[in-house]
Structure 1
Amino acid sequence: MPFETDLARALDRTTDSLEPDLTTLLRGAVERGRSRRRRRVAGVIAGAGACAVIAAAGLVTPGMLGSHLGGSDKEMTPLAAPRAAITDTQMIQALEGTFPGGRFSQETGQSIDPANPSRGLVANSELVLDDGQGAAFVSVSAVRLRLPLRDGDGLSCDQTPPRAAGDTCTLRELPSSAEIPGGALVMSERTVAKHSGNLDAAYRWTMTVTMKATGAQLQMVQWNSTGGGTDGEVPKPTRAAPPLSEQQAVAVLTGATWAPIIAALG
């Protein structure tokens, strides 16, 4: 069911730093990122019961799926339709192109099409990467935020409740250039996976790049394990660092590999 799938992804993109507590999700209009290990958390949030409660609360409508940063009580960030269709194949190929020479498995993607907005407003691709340094789960989601930009997913490090010990967030701006007309906002997060009884913690690195002139936004999530999840479900780390550093992730998301996706968004 496309709408339910998109709803799960849009909510999960904003639920990475909280436990999957439905009361908290509703009070904060969901917990993002744009994923924070989307596959298992999305499975929880996407259940029929959760969808029914959220719909009843009037938090989300098909024309206004929103992202919400880390459980903040600020207003949800509304999404806009992309200017052109983006296929799941395009998303997967762009993600593969991000890691030339890598070996890939468990690849999935999701399309968006402005001619059929009922199918959702979030494009996504995810895979498990083997680059010779240890397997890592990586995903990229693509949305277009409505202008003018305001505090929301990928636009502010403010969070309620505060981030847990060991979690970090920085926000900076990229100046306008030929590659980035109007400049961009870059939010970089590192989150310690919360799983009880396991001292060998996995980490999630989230890089969100938002184009200030158009609202086009890409969010990359990297794990130093083969996937994310909730307490007790996060696989043990397979490597010490993410496949890409912060500088490398920003360079690739604003470079030629993802330029067609950004253009299609806005």
Structure 2
Amino acid sequence: MATLEIKDLHVSVVTDEAPKEILKGVDLTIKAGETHAIMGPNGSGKSTLSYAIAGHPKYQVTSGSVLLDGEDVLAMSVDERARAGVFLAMQYPVEVPGVSMSNFLRTAATAVRGEAPNLRHWVKEVKAAMGELDIDSAFAERSVNEGFSGGEKKRHEILQLSLLKPKIAILDETDSGLDVDALRVVSDGVNRYKAAGEVGVMLITHYTRILKHISPDFVHVFADGRIVESGGPELAQVLEDEGYVKYAGKQEAAKIG
């Protein structure tokens, strides 16, 4: 079973002036079959954590480690991380004009699987996955995310998840910009993939509404670049009721728990 181990991770972001430390010692272990919800105020470092694991060049790991099944993720290139089983559904999916969804998906699957999928089987696989996510088949020939609504972009991210079959899925505010119907479809897509295989999920969100569809096993509160409190699903409701006031900007919050 896949295991992602993050130990004492410190990360700085590159700015025009000087690197700014964002993550200040993150410890987290995610195992296959588990869903970990990462919650916290804006600017606390949640997205920085996702980008650092995925290998975004703007984010510099200054110390600490990230291991996937004992292998050093930080020593891997971005494409090697994807092939190893790390997947990031971005908060703001980018548009890729001139590259069709169908070509993008098959190229990505070929890179991750190590060989091109059989075309006949691949067409059936993509069609079935698109149908489950209520994605019109005409989207297959449209440029990646170009002219897509927010909900359509997020559905495309989950389509990638279902086809690339990662070991660890990092979902960065997948619920952002979704209406009620789109939230249900996207959540169902994540739950289907979880039920079909052994995957660990890191779900980054501000709100509990997606957690009503995707049940977390653990909830972690992020503040000032650290996990300052952890608990079960009930912690999410406490955050919904009380907000993040007692965590935001408090250095001493790192001692909680």
TM over 0.5: no
Higher relative contact order (CA 8 A, sep 6+): 2
Q: TM-score normalized by structure 2?
A: 0.28
**Bigger share in helix:** 2
Q: With the length of structure 1 as denominator, give the TM-score of the two structures.
A: 0.27
